[in-house]
Amino acid sequence: MSGARIGVFDSGVGGLTVLAALRRRLPTAQLLYVADSAHAPYGERSNDYVLARSRALTRFLLAEGAQAVVVACNTATALAIETLRRDWPDVPFVGIEPAVKPALADSASVAVLATPATLASARFGALLAAHGGARAPRLQPCPGLADAIEREGAHAPRTRELVAELCTPLRGCTRIVLGCTHYPLVADAIRAALGAVELLDPADAVAEQTARVTSVLGAAAPGPALRCWSSGDMRRLQRVAHDCGLGDVAAEPLPSGAPQPPAPQ
C-alpha cells in the first residue's frame, strides 16, 4: 500500500470529494491539498488563466515534496493536464474527467452536468466522440454553480434554486454524470430536482488510478497524514472537509509568494 506523498489541487473546495476518496483508498499516503478558492471558479476563466494557475499550484505542491499530483478539477484536467505532463515528465499526474463511458454503457437516459469550459474543451469532445456513438447524452452547462457552492455553500437557498433551474431541462433523465468535483456536494439538491436518478461521481475511479501510479513510488519521508492550504477562506475548507468525512482538518493560507496567474481576460 502506497506511503507516497501525493499532492492534490482544485479550484476550490470541490476537490475535497476526491481527497476523501483518496484517503479511503490510500490510508497510509501523505496527502497535500490546495483549494484555490481565491481564483475560483476555473470553469469560467480563460484557458491561459487556468493553465497558469495549474502550473503555479503544481510548483507549490512539488516544492512541498509531492511525488505525484492529482488534478482534482475537471476544468484544469481538460485544459492543463497535458501541459503539466510535458512540463514535469518525471511526475505522475492523475486527472479527473466526466464518467461518460460507464454512463453510456446501457440504454439509460444520460445527462452531463459540467462547467462551460469543460464541455467546450477538446478533451471532453474527444471523450464524447470515443464513447458517445449514436447515443449522445444531454449536455447541461452550469455557469455559476461551482461559484455558488464555493461562496454561498452547498445548502444555501440560492444554490439549491440554481440547481433546480439547471436541472429543469433534464427531467426524464435517469443517470446524471457529475462533471465537476463541486457537484457531489449538491447531490441531494439534484435528487430533489430530478427524483431517484443515478449520479455518477468519478472520485473513486481517480483514487484507484492514483493507487496504481503511486504503487511504484518509494515511501515518503515521515510527515503529517494530511496538510491543507487555501488561497481563500480557510473556514470554508474546514467545513466542507468535515462534511466529506475527513474530520477536523487544520488549514493554512496558501503562501502569498506562490506564483500568480495573469490578469483575467
Residue 74 located in a structural domain: yes
Mean pLDDT of 101-119: 93
Decide if pLDDT at 264 tops 60. Answer: no
Verify that 87 and 213 share a domain, yes or no. Answer: yes
193-249 residue pLDDT tens: 999 999 999 999 999 999 999 999 999 999 999 999 999 999 999 999 999 999 999
Q: Are 32 and 7 in contact (CB under 8 A)?
A: yes
Verify that 90 and 163 share a domain, yes or no. Answer: no
CA nearest to 261, candidates 100, 29, 59:
59
Mean pLDDT of 165-192: 97
End-to-end CA distance of the chain: 44
Confidence of residue 12 (pLDDT cuts 50, 70, 90): very high
Percent of the chain at pLDDT > 70 equals 95
In whole angstroms, give the CA distance from residue 188 to residue 32: 28
Q: How many domains, the chain?
A: 2
99-103: long-range contacts, CB 8 A cutoff, minimum separation 24: 99/177, 99/178, 99/200, 99/201, 99/202, 99/205, 100/127, 100/128, 100/131, 100/132, 100/137, 100/177, 101/127, 101/130, 101/131, 102/200, 103/137, 103/175, 103/177, 103/200
Decide if pLDDT at 19 tops 60. Answer: yes
| pLDDT value of position 265 | 35
User: Is 244 part of the annotated catalytic residue set?
Assistant: no
User: Is 142 part of the annotated catalytic residue set?
Assistant: no
* Amino acid identity for residue 12 in this structure: G
**Where would I find the H helices in the chain?**
16-25, 47-63, 74-87, 100-103, 116-120, 122-131, 145-151, 157-167, 187-194, 203-214, 234-243
C-alpha cell at 13: 473546495
Verify that 129 and 141 share a domain, yes or no. Answer: yes
| pLDDT value of position 105 | 87
Mean pLDDT of 53-76: 97
Mean pLDDT of 170-185: 96
Verify that 71 and 123 share a domain, yes or no. Answer: no
Residue 83 located in a structural domain: yes
Residue 107 located in a structural domain: yes
| pLDDT value of position 135 | 76
| pLDDT value of position 24 | 97
Residue 54 located in a structural domain: yes
CATH number for 74:
3.40.50.1860
Mean pLDDT of 14-38: 97
Verify that 147 and 166 share a domain, yes or no. Answer: yes
- Higher-pLDDT residue of 191 and 131 is 191
Q: Are 98 and 179 in contact (CB under 8 A)?
A: yes
| pLDDT value of position 131 | 86
Q: Are 80 and 57 in contact (CB under 8 A)?
A: no
Confidence of residue 257 (pLDDT cuts 50, 70, 90): low
Of 73, 142, 167, 244, catalytic: 73
Verify that 207 and 182 share a domain, yes or no. Answer: no
207 lies in which domain range?
A: 5-96+203-253
Of 167, 180, 228, 244, catalytic: 180
- Which residues face 236 on adjacent strands? none
- Which residues face 6 on adjacent strands? 31, 68
Residue with cell 476526491: 18
- Which residues face 252 on adjacent strands? 229
Q: Are 72 and 46 in contact (CB under 8 A)?
A: no
Residue 259 located in a structural domain: no
| pLDDT value of position 211 | 97
Residue 60 located in a structural domain: yes
Residue 263 located in a structural domain: no
